[in-house]
Each structure stands twice: as C-alpha cells, then as structure tokens.
Chain A
Amino acid sequence: MSAEPAHPAAQTPPLAAPPATDNLVGLAMSGGGIRSATFGLGALQALHKLGLLGMFDYLSTVSGGGFTGAWWSAWLSRAERQSGDMFPEAEDIEPSRRPSTLLAPDSARRPDETRAARDPIHHLRLFANYLTPRRGALSADTWRAVTFYVRSLVFNWLVLVPILLVAVMAVQLYFIAWNPTVAMGFACSTPDGDDVTYQTLWTFCEDTGQSHGQVLWTRAKYAAVPLLILMTAMATLSILWLLHGTSTPWLALLGLLTLFGFAARLAERISPGATGTSWLSVPRLSLIAAALVAAAHVVKLVTTLRVNGRIPHDAHRTILAQWTSGLLMVTVLLALGLAVAGFGHEVVWFFFYPKTGQMWPAVRQAGGWGAILVAVAGAAWTAYQAAPSGRTNDSAEPQGRTTQLVFLVAPYVVLGVLALLLAYAARESLVAVAIDLDVARMLSYGVIAGAVVQLVFAVSELRRRRSPRVNYRAWSLVALAIVGSGSQAMFLSRLDDERVTFTLFYVGVVEILLAVAAVVGLGWMSDPNGLSMHAFYKARLVRAYLGASNPDRRGEQVTDAVPGDDVPLRSLCNHDRGAPYHLVNTTLNLVASADLATAQRSAASFVLSSHYCGSARTGYRRTDEYMGGELTLGTAAAISGAAASPNMGSRTPSMPLVLLLALVNARLGFWAPTPFAARWREPLASLWPFYLLSEALSQTTDLSTYCYLTDGGHFDNTGLYSLVERGCRYIVLLDCGADPGPCFADLGDAIRRCRIDFGAEISLGVQGFLDRAPNSGLATRHVTVGKILYGQEHWDQLGLAAQSEVDRTGVIVWVKPAVVAADAADVRQYKLENPNFPHQTTLDQWYDEAQFESYRKLAYDSITSALRPCLQPPPRGAAHVQAFFASLEARYP
C-alpha cells in the first residue's frame, strides 16, 4: 500500500484550544419523531421570545429533535441572513387569511395572495404531515412513497434472492454431485409418481427402481454422513478435553483409542460403504476427521510454551472447548442447510401436489396457502411497524399485543416459508435446465460473459484504490472470473457426457456462477445508501424542514423537492450568528464488535457537526474533508432519525427479526466511511450487496472500511450524553420521547451512561412528573430542576479548573411534555379528546393541524410560564447565565 498523502492540517502547527470555559450552556432536544420536532419548535419559539436563545453554546439533537434543530441551523446558514439574525420572527400566514382581504373588492385579489406563505415557521405547519403532505389515494405524494418503496424492495430482492438461491444450491450440489443413486432420487423422485413433475422428468431420468419412501430414506442417510463425521470430530475433541484433566493421560488415551478403533471396525462390518464406495465409508471418514483433529491438537500442544515446565492444561482445555463449540455451530448450521436444501421441495410437494379428489389433500393445500398468507401478512405488518420513525425508537412506548405477537412469530414463519420456497425453486431450476442441454449451453456462455464483466469491474477497482481490503476483494473477483470461465469451458467440452450426475452438477455450478455474476453486476450499480429507505426518508425531511428556508423554493410547488433545499454540513454557521454549535447525534453500530467493552451496548455515540465528524471509537475527521465534504445537513438529520433499521445499537432485535427487517427493506441507516479507515474521504461504498448482507447478518463494527450509522436514540435518545461529555455546566433538556407511563426510560439510560462513562452524577427528582392533581388527574408541573456533579477526572481531562465539588456542579433543567390545569383551553380540549396526548405513539408521523398546534402551543406555554419568572436583566454573560440558573434552581427544587 502506498503512503497516504499528508493531510493539509497535519502540515500546519496544531491549533491550541482557547482557554477552557467552565460555564458552557447546552440545549438538548430529544428524539420522538414529529412529536419531538413540533414540541421543540414551540420551545425554541418561547426561548427566542424570552431572549434566551443567545445563551446556549451547544445544541445537541437526536432524531425528531434534530428535524427542528436542522431546520434552525439551515435557516441560520442561508446567505441572506444578517448579523444578529437568531431565529425567525413571528409566523407569517398566507395573505389570503388576513382580515385585510375583507376590505378589498373581489376583483382586486391577486393570484399570489392565495398561495402558501413564505415563512419558515408556517412552512413547518404546512408540512406537519411531512411524509405525505398531500393526502388521499390519488395524491402524487402517496404514490411517490409507494413507488420508492416498491422500487427499492425489488432491487433488494434482485440481489437477496440470488444470494439465498446460491446458498441453497451450494448445499444441493452435495446431493447430486457424487452418488448417482442419491442424485437420481433427488432429481427424479416424486411424491407418488402420478403428477406432472414425474411425467416431465421421466424422459430425463432412468427408472431408479425405488419407491418414494426408499428414495427419501437413502437421501436422509446420505445427509447424515457429514453430520456424523463432524460429531465424531466433536467427540474426539471432548475426549481430548477430558484427558487434560486426568492424572494418567497416556494410559487413558491408549484405552480410548483401542475402544474407538473397535467401534469403527464394528461400524464398518455392520454397514459397509454407506456412501457407495468402500474407501469413502462413514467410519473411515470419521476416523480421518478424528485423526485430523487429534493431529491439530498435538501441533498446538507442541507449539504452546510450557509454564514452569508443565503443560498448561487449563489453557488447552479452553482451546479444545472453543474448537468444540465452533464445530457444534457448523454442525447445526449444516444440519439446517441439508434439511432445507435436500428436503424443502418435498415439504412444498406435500402441501401443493397432493392427489386430487380427497378431503385430506384439500386440507393440506389450504394449510400451504395459509402459511404463505401468514408469512406475507407478517412481513407487511413488520414493514408497517418499522416504517420511517417507527415506534422502535421509543423504548418506553408500550407495544400492543398484536405487534408483540407478530414480532415474535412473523420472523420465523416468514423465514421458514421463504427457505422452503427457495429450496423448491432451486431444485426445479436445476432439473429444468438439466433436461434441456441447449439452455445449459446458453447459460454457460452467460457465465463466461459475466466473468469478462467481472474482470472489468475488478481492474477498475484495482486501478482506483490501493487499500488491502479492497485489493483483496478485487483479486477475489479476478479469481472467481477465472474459475468461472474455466469451469464453463470444461463443461461445454464435456456436455454430451451421458452421466446424469455430471450434467446436474455442472448445471448447478452454472446457475450459482450466474447468480454471483448478477449480484456483483447489480452491486456495482449503486451504493448501499441509494437503495435503502434512507434516500426516501432524507428527501422528505429535507423538503419539509430544510426547504423551509430555501430562497429558491419560492416559485415552486410547495411539496416538490427543490435544488438548494439541502445544506452542506460544513457550511453551517450557527456560531457565526451567535447561535449554538449544533451536534447531530447518531449511533455507531457495533453489533458484531469483538470488544467486550461494547458487548452490552453494541453501540457508541457518533457525532456529526459542522467542524468535524466521528466517534471516540473511530477517531474524528474534519467535515470539510470527510466524505469529500459532501455530507449534508439533510443526510445528518436523516441518519440521526433512522429509527427503523435491522441493526439498532443497544436495541438490536433478535436475529430472525433482523433478517426480516432487511428482507422488507426497513432500512433507514447509513453506511459512512469509518473515520480512521483508508477510504474516509470517499462518500460512497461499492458493491452494496455486501453491506446489505452485513446489515441482514448484523455484521456491523467500527473496524470495517465503512461503518453503519443509525438513529442517535439507539444509544442515547435525549442528547444529554454529548453535552455531559463536553462538560456543560448548565443544560436544558427537552425530553420528548413517548412516555405515557411515565417511566423515564430515555432519561434513565442517559443518566446511567453518563455516570459509567464520565463519572458524572445527575440528580433529578422524578416525583414532580409522577404527581397528579387530585381532581383533574393532570400533571402538576412542566419543569424539574436538578444538579450535575462532574467527576474530577473528567473535569481535569477537559482542562477545567475545580477547587471543590461546587466548582464541578452544574444545573440541569428537565422539560417534559405534560398538560397542567393552567394550560390553554385548546390544549386542554385536545387532551380531553386524545387521552394519550402529549405522549401519542411515535408511529403516528402524519400530524394534522390540531395535533401540530397542540404540541407547539404546549411547549411554548410550558417554557414561557416556567422560565419567565427567572429572567435576569442584561448584560448577557457568565454572571447573567449563572444568576438565571440559580434562580431556576431556587424556584423548582
């Protein structure tokens, strides 16, 4: 690998940090989808009205809070903003809604008076239903969403189905490649010899002279062979493991070997040549496996250093236990594969090819269709539940019994039905091609053409990149192309061979190679983020939230995406306007990480901001160079809100559900270059099927070239973690996760992690939000104030001075959506009509006018009523901030 060019920043002297300030003020806007975004809007309006927005140094946003945060940051960064512009002024409605229109004669009304207003706040109100603002079955918005989902799903399946077929066919090759009897039985056997399949195959196969039951029994014995061999190897390992503990190992070994030899001889005498040939009998293969395992152990024994002249028995027992568990995993997976690939089509036959004219076959057929319908319905329900900003983001939000049941059962049903259908399709395609040699020849030519295309891809890849991992991938393609084209040349020269096993085997190889070529070819046509739902989600967020401040949007239809809506992340200039530095919190998925340090969380914080991006796990890069400087605010906000993904950090579901989520393309996450990896400047990854499989198999780590980022709520849904990490002494937390209980799950997670990671002790009284008014049953407060005691070590690492605990103690203002008796009449009315307000399900992302205004007004009044009494006179500065928070602390103990 050639040396990476010197980074420009590395050639300049390091920029020292300015003198540390210990009175940092942070505003955290939590996740919670459109509910959190709308509540956050009302809160920002109130803070602006009170003149407090200029007080915050940091804005830390997660998921839905990031929608509004991104909207504000984009507004601040537009070229037409002037110095001193901090926040949009009062909302401006359409001219036609103003009373002045009553005074004008009807003929004098201009057309532009009836169009949408040009106000960024009003834009958000119009986009309360941001996913599909124009409703109805005939709405172009709805149909665009359907089109995008179906198109992405089809492309994903075009890759996933060949990959799964290859896996099944590779195992089926075992049944058709070596033993003619088993091969004939696999290709030509039928349930009862009286259906169409049998008639077609009869011209191809010779009569095997066996009943269907005998064929099945022969195949089952054949399938058991590799499993028996593996089990023998495991038994040998177990014996060796046992020997490491005994006081007379060599005597015991001699006895066991004698016993094992006798058993092998006996097995051979009883059942000679189970595989059809005398040498490759099961006992002999088992003996070979046992000998190999024993030899490997002897090598390990000899090469391992002795401790004080003695063999480290405990260490060797651990190694043997590891080998055994590895073999056990292989055995279980192989058993599943052999069962599905060898007998899957028999199950399908059982359901769908019964004899006609009897009741029992009709019941079987109904059962088969029922299983398929349940699988499709289960997959559809899962996709619906995992729709953009689905409820998976809110740990505290209870799931209905139906959802719980579907999430529990659907993955197994769907994967089971899919596996059986794939086995049936693979076997049918093998036989169908094998009986028509012209088709087989054409497929071979197709493989050779595919090999040429792969060579071109590989050479292109080798020419562009020099990292070892990419070289390895490209050279693998070259090898695959050579093997593929060579095997097909040999196949074509011997195609007239009359042996059925030969023809079936090479047809299998042809189809596998074609599927691989198709996957590779399709894989290079897009990047992993292009065919997930991320692109759709981002587009809808961008037009709704970032488009609100786009000056070029004026002449366009309000719901169309317009160039210039999105803003490069590097060009954010909040701090240049006097506004807080925006931290967009996302989650770095570490589900497959080998580190014990992340085994429980499976996630780490990953921050995207205007100056740098990265994580403590991966290092950081300057935003103007990371991903070639192409990372946009819209992408960052969409990643931060990617609630539904197969991998969800700490909340990653079970393996079958992960696979199902990948199958239904419920994928909102984003593959970004890992900051310390060689390709950190390249925004797009090649060969997206590799990343699709990584998601489906939960293979996400921080050591790969590209890392998988999802919703910040999968690590911390409050935004508090990043602010405590930076040592903010004063924090205002808008905690808007759905919490109808309430049980404060998001806050609990954040407090625990801040304590574990930073030694920061956050003291907050939760009783204030649990208390209910005696008569109305409403909440009694909007705000609770507590303390943060930072750890001395953390404080020192940040370079902050502290003589005593008082110097390390901060204030946290916890704002939670709650309706109190004194709230506005329309908010109280909405609460009476919707008892779950203000904690309605996050699954509802389609707000109407009443819902939007209720959340906005509730936030506005909550902040105003709570903070107004504590306002301090100017000038603005450290003393002003300190006095303000001291006043809050005194008022809300």
Chain B
Amino acid sequence: MTEPLPPSRRPLELEDRRARAAADKASKMPVAVSPLALERWAIVLRRHRAGYAGYEQIDARALALSPRRRQADTSMLTSLVGRLRAFGRSGKGGRER
C-alpha cells in the first residue's frame, strides 16, 4: 500500500529553497566541463607522467590540460592596468562582467 501524497502533490522538503531558486534563476552557470571530468583528465595525465603501467599512451585531451608556460605576474601595475581596461570595457559595452 502506497503512502498518499499530500494535497499539493509536492514532496515534503526540509528547507525553504525559494531564495536559492531565485538566485539559481539569475545565474548562468557554464556547465560545459564538470569539475570531476577536469580532475580525472588531470589524473590521467599525472599517471602518464608518473610512469604508471597502462598509461603509456593517453588521450590527447589529457595532454591539453597541461598548463601553458607563462610567467607568474602578480604585480600591482598589471593588476591596475587590468582594472582600468575592465572599467573601460564595462562603460562602453554596458555588459555584465
């Protein structure tokens, strides 16, 4: 015998998700690559580099995750110039950044 549904025919919830639903509606989350997929490709590459048996040949997509060599630059000048550019872009385009 099945339990009758409540009159509203909605499942019971233990939390009020109205605020979250509003925020979710406003957000546009890119979902092209899942975090788990990124991690697993990184691990495939890791095992290849570490010389794991069975990982001698790997998919090119794992190699694509190898970070591009670029010098770390955290200088204030770069940061300032970046902000000024961003300010100009938002003023011209009027788009959300």
Closest to A79 in B: B69
How far apart are the CA atoms of A724 and B18 in the complex, in Å?
A: 30
Query: Number of B interface residues, CB 8 Å?
Result: 60
Chain A nearest Cβ from B82, distance in angstroms: 7
How far apart are the CA atoms of A798 and B91 in the complex, in Å?
A: 44
Instruction: Let me know if A282 is at the binding interface, CB within 8 A.
Output: no
How far apart are the CA atoms of A307 and B90 in the complex, in Å?
A: 53
CB neighbours of B7 from chain A (8 A): 307
Instruction: Let me know if A490 is at the binding interface, CB within 8 A.
Output: no
Binding site for A on B (CB under 8 A): 7, 14-17, 19-20, 23-24, 26-47, 49-55, 59, 61-62, 65-67, 69-72, 74-75, 79, 82, 86-87, 90-91, 94-97
Total contacts A to B, CB within 8 angstroms?
185
Chain B nearest Cβ from A871, distance in angstroms: 16
Return the CB mask of A355-378 against B: 1 if under 8 Å, else 0: 000000000000000000000000
Chain A nearest Cβ from B34, distance in angstroms: 7
The reply to whether A597 and B14 form a contact with Cβ atoms under 8 Å apart is yes
Closest to B38 in A: A611
Chain B nearest Cβ from A20, distance in angstroms: 7
Sampled A-B contacts (11; CB under 8 Å): A10-B31, A18-B41, A18-B59, A463-B90, A465-B96, A575-B42, A578-B49, A578-B51, A596-B14, A876-B50, A876-B52
How far apart are the CA atoms of A285 and B31 in the complex, in Å?
A: 57
Closest to A466 in B: B96
Binds B, one of A167-175, A345-353, A676-684, A806-814: A676-684
Apart from A575-B49, A875-B53, list 17 A-B contacts with CB within 8 A: A4-B96, A7-B28, A9-B30, A14-B31, A18-B62, A57-B43, A563-B74, A564-B72, A568-B74, A576-B45, A578-B49, A578-B50, A594-B16, A611-B35, A678-B27, A878-B53, A880-B53
The reply to whether A464 and B14 form a contact with Cβ atoms under 8 Å apart is no
Chain B nearest Cβ from A472, distance in angstroms: 13
Closest to A633 in B: B72
Q: Which of A13, A18, A77, A464 has the most CB of B within 10 A?
A: A18
Given contacts A14-B32, A878-B54, is CB(A466)–CB(B94) below 8 Å? yes
The reply to whether A619 and B27 form a contact with Cβ atoms under 8 Å apart is yes
Chain B nearest Cβ from A773, distance in angstroms: 39
Q: Which of B19, B44, B52 has the most CB of A within 10 A?
A: B52
Contact of B23 among A1, A77, A677 (CB under 8 A): A677
How far apart are the CA atoms of A568 and B16 in the complex, in Å?
A: 38
The reply to whether A726 and B32 form a contact with Cβ atoms under 8 Å apart is no
How far apart are the CA atoms of A2 and B26 in the complex, in Å?
A: 11
The reply to whether A678 and B96 form a contact with Cβ atoms under 8 Å apart is yes
Chain A nearest Cβ from B64, distance in angstroms: 9
Tell me if B's interface is mostly helix, strand, loop or mixed: loop
The reply to whether B15 and A596 form a contact with Cβ atoms under 8 Å apart is yes
How far apart are the CA atoms of A307 and B6 in the complex, in Å?
A: 13
The reply to whether A577 and B49 form a contact with Cβ atoms under 8 Å apart is yes
Closest to B36 in A: A17
The reply to whether B14 and A703 form a contact with Cβ atoms under 8 Å apart is no
Given contacts A576-B66, A619-B27, is CB(A876)–CB(B49) below 8 Å? no
CB neighbours of B43 from chain A (8 A): 21, 24, 57-58, 575, 581
Contact of B61 among A15, A24, A58, A578 (CB under 8 A): A15
Closest 6 CB pairs of A and B: A877-B53, A578-B50, A7-B30, A578-B49, A17-B37, A575-B46
How far apart are the CA atoms of A185 and B10 in the complex, in Å?
A: 61
Binding site for B on A (CB under 8 A): 1-5, 7, 9-18, 20-21, 24, 54, 57-58, 77, 79, 83, 307, 463-468, 563-564, 566-568, 570-581, 594-597, 609-612, 614, 619-622, 628, 630, 632, 675-679, 681-682, 703, 726, 798, 875-880
The reply to whether B32 and A12 form a contact with Cβ atoms under 8 Å apart is yes
How far apart are the CA atoms of A566 and B74 in the complex, in Å?
A: 8
The reply to whether A678 and B79 form a contact with Cβ atoms under 8 Å apart is no
Chain B nearest Cβ from A721, distance in angstroms: 15
How far apart are the CA atoms of A465 and B24 in the complex, in Å?
A: 19
The reply to whether B46 and A570 form a contact with Cβ atoms under 8 Å apart is no
The reply to whether A876 and B51 form a contact with Cβ atoms under 8 Å apart is yes
The reply to whether A571 and B70 form a contact with Cβ atoms under 8 Å apart is yes
CB neighbours of A628 from chain B (8 A): 82, 86
Contact of B40 among A20, A463, A596, A630 (CB under 8 A): A20
Chain A nearest Cβ from B9, distance in angstroms: 15
How far apart are the CA atoms of A468 and B90 in the complex, in Å?
A: 16
The reply to whether A726 and B36 form a contact with Cβ atoms under 8 Å apart is yes
How far apart are the CA atoms of A16 and B16 in the complex, in Å?
A: 34
How far apart are the CA atoms of A595 and B97 in the complex, in Å?
A: 29
Closest to A74 in B: B72
How far apart are the CA atoms of A594 and B71 in the complex, in Å?
A: 44
Contact of B51 among A54, A77, A574, A619 (CB under 8 A): A54
CB neighbours of B61 from chain A (8 A): 15, 18
Closest to B44 in A: A18
Chain A nearest Cβ from B20, distance in angstroms: 6
CB neighbours of A622 from chain B (8 A): 30, 33
CB neighbours of B47 from chain A (8 A): 57, 578
How far apart are the CA atoms of A315 and B81 in the complex, in Å?
A: 58
Given contacts A9-B32, A596-B14, is CB(A464)–CB(B39) below 8 Å? no
The reply to whether A612 and B17 form a contact with Cβ atoms under 8 Å apart is no
Chain A nearest Cβ from B48, distance in angstroms: 8
Chain A nearest Cβ from B38, distance in angstroms: 4
Given contacts A465-B97, A567-B72, A878-B53, is CB(A578)–CB(B46) below 8 Å? yes
Contact of A597 among B15, B28, B32, B96 (CB under 8 A): B15
Contact of A703 among B20, B29, B91 (CB under 8 A): B20
Contact of A9 among B20, B33, B50, B79 (CB under 8 A): B33
How far apart are the CA atoms of A677 and B20 in the complex, in Å?
A: 11
Given contacts A567-B72, A570-B67, A703-B23, is CB(A576)–CB(B49) below 8 Å? yes
CB neighbours of A580 from chain B (8 A): 46
CB neighbours of A5 from chain B (8 A): 95-96
Chain B nearest Cβ from A78, distance in angstroms: 9
Contact of A676 among B27, B50, B53, B67 (CB under 8 A): B27
Given contacts A581-B42, A597-B15, A676-B23, is CB(A573)–CB(B67) below 8 Å? yes
CB neighbours of B87 from chain A (8 A): 464
CB neighbours of A577 from chain B (8 A): 49
Chain B nearest Cβ from A523, distance in angstroms: 18
CB neighbours of B24 from chain A (8 A): 676
How far apart are the CA atoms of A744 and B28 in the complex, in Å?
A: 42
The reply to whether B72 and A876 form a contact with Cβ atoms under 8 Å apart is no
How far apart are the CA atoms of A84 and B82 in the complex, in Å?
A: 36
Chain A nearest Cβ from B70, distance in angstroms: 7
The reply to whether A563 and B75 form a contact with Cβ atoms under 8 Å apart is yes
Closest to B62 in A: A18
The reply to whether A595 and B50 form a contact with Cβ atoms under 8 Å apart is no
Chain B nearest Cβ from A623, distance in angstroms: 10
Closest to A705 in B: B23
Q: Which of A3, A581, A630 has the most CB of B within 10 A?
A: A581
Chain A nearest Cβ from B42, distance in angstroms: 4
The reply to whether B29 and A619 form a contact with Cβ atoms under 8 Å apart is yes
How far apart are the CA atoms of A466 and B91 in the complex, in Å?
A: 11
Given contacts A571-B72, A581-B42, is CB(A2)–CB(B54) below 8 Å? no
How far apart are the CA atoms of A811 and B47 in the complex, in Å?
A: 20
How far apart are the CA atoms of A773 and B32 in the complex, in Å?
A: 57
